[in-house]
């Protein structure tokens, strides 16, 4: 008889998002789910587990790789850069195991029989449950939890800290599959940084609804999944995407609006920033920050007045040198960041900073009508133009 | 954050237009405006800008109106504690107009 399995919520941004994604995957293989402080479902049969692992395998090929088109027009599948999912060219942890072992691990997780405690059992550092580490996936790396410290004492920051953490198969499985989810991300190739956004919602069912809308809205691109495709003068297609977290958030709201869905300007977000060094090195630095939109009403009215504040206003701007008229891309990126941050955080001071003339460079390319509308909406009593 | 009246917004926009026009010939005046720290300094710099506008009007064919700048000084006196916010809005408009003057034909 099928027994009921309950996986409770972690109240942690990474694992809650992963658990929600697992729920989404289970719904794909026709498992009836209940969202209540976690997910509750009947244990899976062998066919369902095989299908689940098949889906995960397919996603690994689809989500962690992209089609790279070389200068001579040759096409090849390349790995998505700067994610800590690989080590020396191979996937690590659960992602790197072969299909049979993956099935075994899933079998262990989804058909848990109560195991007796014995001396070889360890305690998981995340969920505090007992486990036996027979699948060799219990070592915690950045794959399982992106802000985990490395295993070298000297790189931990605090030398007396326990440098190694251990996870039970369930936590390791959840942590690894979270990379396959459709979280809005963007990659700034200039400074080798990846920005990934996670909605921060306590109630897992609400999180599920929000992420469903996001899944419908995002596309699949090389450097970002929130982007616009436009045709260049020579007819070739280019992607236009945001280069920082605030611009990403603005363009995500635009994209969700454009498909007619609404997530009601979700207020709290977690931004994970993964900074890679040169692709040949393995070191990756991860930083975590929180974005809390202080004034949702203002953002709502800005979106109502100017339909697309990012792609029509911020993205079209560029920065020129006053001396020789050449375009300064570094400064331009900085200015876009300041403008987006100002709009999202309802901070006019930051927005105005972009317009200051710095290093003899001036911001241009702003649409006059949109700028008038934006400033009147933002700073005027009645908001009318 | 202070919310301004509609005619006050209009004053700031027009002064931005004037300052942008002046900055096209005298960019350092815009830098100076950005650097002011108090309401008094801001008003002093606006006076300088008005003088600049008059001299610019005498030299060139097109005249430069200084009326918006006078209105702006009144406005700063009205919102003395929030002069920074007025400065921010004026700078946004000035830079926008300067960019429009410089790069509109290219």
List, in sequence order, every residue forming a beta bridge with A268; answer none if it has no partner: A292
Is there a domain that residue A106 lies in?
A: yes
Q: How far apart are CA B29 and CA B46, in angstroms?
A: 9
* Tens digit of each residue's pLDDT (9 = 90 or more) over B60-69: 776 778 888 9
Of residues A242, A160, A137, A238, the one with CA closest to residue A197:
A242
DSSP A123-178: E-TTT--EE--TTS--B--TTTSTT---S-GGGSSSTTS----B--HHHHHHHHHG
Q: Which long-range contacts (CB under 8 A, 24 or more apart) does A45-49 make?
A: A45/A2, A46/A107, A49/A103, A49/A106, A49/A107, A49/A110
Residue B28 falls inside a structural domain: yes
The answer to whether residue B11 sits within a structural domain is yes
Instruction: Check whether residue A304 and residue A335 sit in a common domain.
Output: yes
Q: What pLDDT score was predicted for residue A199?
A: 92
B27:A322 CB<8 A? yes
Overall average pLDDT of the B7-32 stretch: 91
Average pLDDT on B40-67 reads 86
Is B31's CB within 8 Å of A325's CB? no
Residues A199 and A103 occupy one common structural domain: no
Could you give the CA distance from residue A51 to residue A53 in angstroms, rounded to a whole number?
5
Collect all residues of chain A within an 8 Å Cβ-Cβ radius of residue B2: 379
B-chain CB neighbours of A379 within 8 Å are 1-4, 9, 85, 89
Predicted local distance difference test score (pLDDT) of residue A225? 85
* Mutation target vs A (from B33, B82, B88; most A CBs, 10 A cutoff): B88
Q: From the first residue on, what is the mean pLDDT of each consecutive set of 10 residues in chain A (385 residues)?
A: 81 92 91 89 88 91 78 75 74 87 88 62 86 82 82 66 80 91 86 88 91 88 81 79 90 88 83 76 77 89 88 90 89 93 93 92 90 89 62
| Angle, alpha carbons A185-A187-A192 (nearest 5°) | 140
| Same domain for A335 and A264 | no
Tell me the two tokens of residue A129.
Answer: 């449950």
The confidence score (pLDDT) of residue A304 equals 87
**pLDDT score at B31:** 92
The minimal CB distance from A380 to the residues B9, B84, B95 is found for: B9
Is residue A273 one of the residues assigned to a domain? yes
Return the pLDDT at B73: 92
Q: Of A325, A355, A376, which is closest to B92 when you measure between CB atoms?
A: A355
Looking at the fold, whether A373 and A305 belong to one and the same domain comes out as yes
Is residue A146, in this structure, part of any structural domain at all? yes
Q: What is the mean pLDDT of chain B?
A: 89
**What 3-state DSSP class applies to A198?**
strand
A371 contacts in chain B (CB < 8 Å): 92, 96
**B72 burial via Cβ count (<10 Å: 0-12, 13-18, 19+):** buried
Which pair of structure tokens corresponds to residue A192?
A: 């080798």
Return d(Cα A337, Cα A330) in angstroms, integer.
Answer: 11
Q: Tens digit of pLDDT for each residue in A62-92?
A: 888 777 777 777 777 777 766 777 777 788 8
Interface touch B91/A352, C-beta < 8 Å: yes
Q: How many domains does chain A have?
A: 3
- Residue A174 sits in the same domain as residue A63: yes
Domain termination residue (choose one: A292, A322, A344): A292
Same domain, A125 and A202: no
In a domain, A385, yes or no: no
pLDDT value at residue A151: 64
In a domain, B1, yes or no: no
Question: Nearest CA to CA, how far is A381 from chain B (Å)?
Answer: 5
Confirm whether A239 is domain-assigned: yes
Total structural domains in chain B?
Answer: 1
Q: DSSP strand E in chain A: where?
A: 4-8, 33-35, 38-42, 65-69, 75-79, 86-87, 90-91, 122-123, 130-131, 185-188, 193-199, 227-231, 237-241, 268-276, 284-292, 318-321, 361-364
Residues A83 and A174 occupy one common structural domain = yes
Nearest chain A residue (CA) to B7: A380
Same domain, A23 and A126: yes
d(CA B29, nearest CA chain A) in Å? 12
| Integer Cα distance of B92 and B42 in angstroms | 16
Domain that holds residue B44: 6-103
Residues 47-106 of B with CB under 8 A from A: 84-85, 88-89, 91-93, 95-96, 98-100, 102-103, 106
What ipTM does the predicted assembly reach?
0.92
Range of the domain at A211: 182-292
User: Are A46 and A167 in the same domain?
Assistant: yes
Contact A350, A292 (CB under 8 A): no
Q: Does position B106 have pLDDT exceeding 50, yes or no?
A: no
Which one of A316, A338, A362, A373 makes the best mutation probe of the B interface by having the most chain B beta carbons within 10 Å? A362
Q: Which residue of B has its CA nearest to A295?
A: B1
Same-domain status, A213 and A346: no
Give the rounded percent of residues in chain B with a pLDDT score beyond 90.
Answer: 63
A384 in any annotated domain: no
Contact B99 A363 (CB under 8 A): yes
* Nearest neighbour of A375 by CB, restricted to B2, B92, B102: B92
Task: Quote the pTM value.
Answer: 0.89
- Which residues, in sequence order, are CB contacts of A181 under 8 Å at separation 6+? A17, A18, A21, A24, A211
Alpha helices (runs of H) in chain B, residue ranges in sequence order: 6-25, 27-35, 39-59, 67-78, 83-103
How many C-beta neighbours within 10 Å does residue A234 have? 5
**Is the same domain home to A257 and A351?**
no
For residues A31 and A149, state if they share a domain: yes
Tell me whether residue A232 is in a domain.
Answer: yes
Contacts of B95 in chain A (CB under 8 A): 355-357, 362-363
Q: Flag whether A224 is in a domain.
A: yes
């Amino acid at each position: 008889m099928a027994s009921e399995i309950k996986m409770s919520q972690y109240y942690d941004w990474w694992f809650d998002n992963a658990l929600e994604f697992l729920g989404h995957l289970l719904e794909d293989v026709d498992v009836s789910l209940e969202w209540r402080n976690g997910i509750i479902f009947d244990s899976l049969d062998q066919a369902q587990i095989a299908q689940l692992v098949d889906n995960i395998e397919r996603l690994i090929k689809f989500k962690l790789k992209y089609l790279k088109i070389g200068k001579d027009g040759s096409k090849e599948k390349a790995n998505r850069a700067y994610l800590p999912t690989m080590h020396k060219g191979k996937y690590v942890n659960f992602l790197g195991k072969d299909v049979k072992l993956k099935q075994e691990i899933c079998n262990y997780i989804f058909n848990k029989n109560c195991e007796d405690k014995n001396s070889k059992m360890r305690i998981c550092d995340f969920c505090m449950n007992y486990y036996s580490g027979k699948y060799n996936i219990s070592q915690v790396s950045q794959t399982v939890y992106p802000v985990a410290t490395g295993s070298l004492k000297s790189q931990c920051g605090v030398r007396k800290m326990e440098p190694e953490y251990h996870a039970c198969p369930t936590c390791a499985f959840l942590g690894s599959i979270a990379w396959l989810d459709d979280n809005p991300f963007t990659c700034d190739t200039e400074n080798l940084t990846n920005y990934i956004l996670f909605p921060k919602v306590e109630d897992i069912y609400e999180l599920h609804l929000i992420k469903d809308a996001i899944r419908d809205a995002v596309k699949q691109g090389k450097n970002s999944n929130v982007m616009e495709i436009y045709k260049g003068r020579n007819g070739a297609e280019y992607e236009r995407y945001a280069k920082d977290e605030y611009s990403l958030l603005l363009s995500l709201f635009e994209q969700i609006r454009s498909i007619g869905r609404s997530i009601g300007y979700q207020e709290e977000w977690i931004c994970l920033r993964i900074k890679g060094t040169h692709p040949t090195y393995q070191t990756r630095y991860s930083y975590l920050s929180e974005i809390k939109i202080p004034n949702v009403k203002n953002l709502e009215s800005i979106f109502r007045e100017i339909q697309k504040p990012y792609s029509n206003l911020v993205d079209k701007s560029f920065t020129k040198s006053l001396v020789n008229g050449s375009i300064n891309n570094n400064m331009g990126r900085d200015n876009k960041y300041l403008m987006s941050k100002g709009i999202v955080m309802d901070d006019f001071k930051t927005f105005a900073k972009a317009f200051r003339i710095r290093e003899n460079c001036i911001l241009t390319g702003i649409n006059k009508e949109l700028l008038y509308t934006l400033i009147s909406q933002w700073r005027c009593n009645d908001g009318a133009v | 954050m202070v919310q301004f009246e509609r005619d006050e917004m209009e004053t700031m926009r027009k002064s931005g237009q004037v300052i942008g026009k002046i900055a096209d010939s005298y960019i350092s005046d815009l830098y100076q405006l950005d650097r002011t720290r108090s309401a008094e300094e801001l008003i002093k710099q606006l006076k300088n800008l008005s003088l600049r506008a008059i001299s610019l009007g005498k030299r060139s064919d097109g005249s430069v109106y200084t009326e918006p700048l006078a209105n702006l000084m009144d406005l700063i006196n009205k919102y003395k504690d929030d002069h920074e916010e007025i400065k921010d809005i004026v700078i946004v408009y000035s830079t926008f107009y300067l960019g429009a003057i410089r790069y509109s034909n290219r």
